[in-house]
Amino acid sequence: MATPIAALVVDSPLGPLTVLSAHGGVAELHFGVAGAALPPGDPHGAGPALRAYFGGALGALAAVPVAPAGTRFQRTVWDHLRALAPGETTTYGALARALGSARRARAVGRASATNPAPLFIPCHRLLGKATHLV
* Spatial CA neighbour of 118 closest among 39, 43, 50, 23: 50
Catalytic-role residue among 44, 123, 125, 126: 123
Q: Of all helices (H) and strands (E), which one includes residue 113?
A: helix 105-113
DSSP 8-class letter at 13: T
End-to-end CA gap in the chain: 44
Q: Would residue 123 show up in a list of annotated catalytic residues for this protein? A: yes
Q: Which residues are catalytic?
A: 123
